[in-house]
Amino acid sequence: MKFTAAIMQEGPWFVARCLEVEVTSQGRSVEESLANLKEALELYFEDEAPPENLVEPIIAPLEIAV
């Protein structure tokens, strides 16, 4: 299955979050956070059924005035 990850840096950590299911992981690099997220997703789907109608999220930047 193919999923989408959003990655944010939080202090020394990179946090990778799957946008299709509520699974998140972290690592000290982008690559490590993605590898950890992949492992977390594989473990998650050992107990959960994969989504039947997986819809790819629309990723769009948004700008607001503050």
Asked if the model's pLDDT at residue 11 lies above 90, the reply is yes
Q: Do residues 56 and 4 touch, judged by C-beta distance below 8 A?
A: yes
Q: Where are the alpha helices (DSSP H) in 1-66?
A: 30-47
CA angle 59, 65, 66 (to 5 degrees): 115
Single pTM value for the model: 0.88
pLDDT tens digits along 21-64: 999 999 999 999 999 999 999 999 999 998 888 888 999 999 99
Query: Which two structure tokens, joined as six digits, stand for 56?
Result: 């790819």
